[in-house]
Amino acid sequence: MRTKEPVDQKSVHGQFRNVRMTQAGTYLIAHMNLGKVIEYDKDWKAIWSCDAPSVWHATRLKNGNTLISGNQHGFVREINPKGEIVWEVKKGDLPGITINGVHQATRLANGHTVFCNWTAGVKQPDWPAIVQVIEVTPEKKVVWAFREWENPDLGPASCILLLDEPGSAENGDLQR
């Protein structure tokens, strides 16, 4: 894929993490290096964008909004088509849980959000204090938080595939 967007020629690592095809046949790209999400049409013309510092993941939701995650900025946001934040969980919002680097985020059918909390900026000996995966309600109440650093040591969590909801992402049934 070629775009006219500037890229970091020194390091491809930070260019982008996730590309999603939407139900409309457009491409939603989390441009980490640009600090924004850009939606492209089938001819790779930019048709929508929103600012998102260090964005790691973006998914178009069934309601037309976009769920994004902010990597080391430590947030999960739902953005409306105007680019406005309509819902957010960020550092400091969850008592007893430190949000570090938010990677993949998934919106469940019940409206809850599950997201992966990576170990950004934390030295390896301190990783066991990190909660790796968290489910929150729309009211930002923790449903469950997963921390597993011993047997089995699941390591830092970037992505999770939830298998308990019927449907397929390819058909637009799932919001991930």
Residue 163, in any domain of the structure: yes
Q: The tokens 């406005």 sit on which residue?
A: 84
pLDDT tens track for 19-65: 888 989 999 999 988 999 999 999 999 999 999 998 999 999 999 99
Confidence of residue 3 (pLDDT cuts 50, 70, 90): low
- Give one DSSP letter per residue of 26-69, joined into a string: -EEEEETTTTEEEEE-TT--EEEEEE-TT--EEEE-TTS-EEEE
Q: Give the tens place of pLDDT for each residue, 126-171.
A: 988 889 999 999 999 999 999 989 888 888 888 777 767 777 766 7
Place 10 in a pLDDT band, splitting at 50, 70 and 90. Answer: low
**Residue 5 included in any domain:** no
Q: Could you give phi then psi for residue 73, rounded to 5 degrees?
A: -75, -10
Strand order in the sheet with 142-146: 101-107, 113-118, 133-136, 142-146
Does residue 10 lie in a domain region?
A: no
Inside any domain, residue 13: no
Q: Which of 130, 20, 27, 1 is nearest to 69 (CA)?
A: 20
Residue 88 and residue 76 in contact, taking contact as beta carbons nearer than 8 Å: yes
Q: How many domains, the chain?
A: 1
Q: Give per-residue pLDDT as tens, 63-91.
A: 999 999 998 889 999 999 999 999 999 99
- CATH number, domain at 106? 2.130.10.10
Residue 73 is assigned to a structural domain of this protein = yes
- CA dist 108 → 13, 94, 104, 151 (Å): 29, 19, 13, 28
> Strand, helix or coil at 124?
helix
* AA identity, residue 145: A
37 in any annotated domain: yes
Residue 118 is assigned to a structural domain of this protein: yes
CA distances from 104 to 1, 68, 74, 128, 164 (A): 22, 8, 12, 20, 17
At 98 the pLDDT is 92
pTM over 0.85: yes
Does residue 3 form part of some domain?
no
Confidence class for position 2, pLDDT limits 50, 70, 90: low
By residue range, what is the domain housing residue 53?
19-171
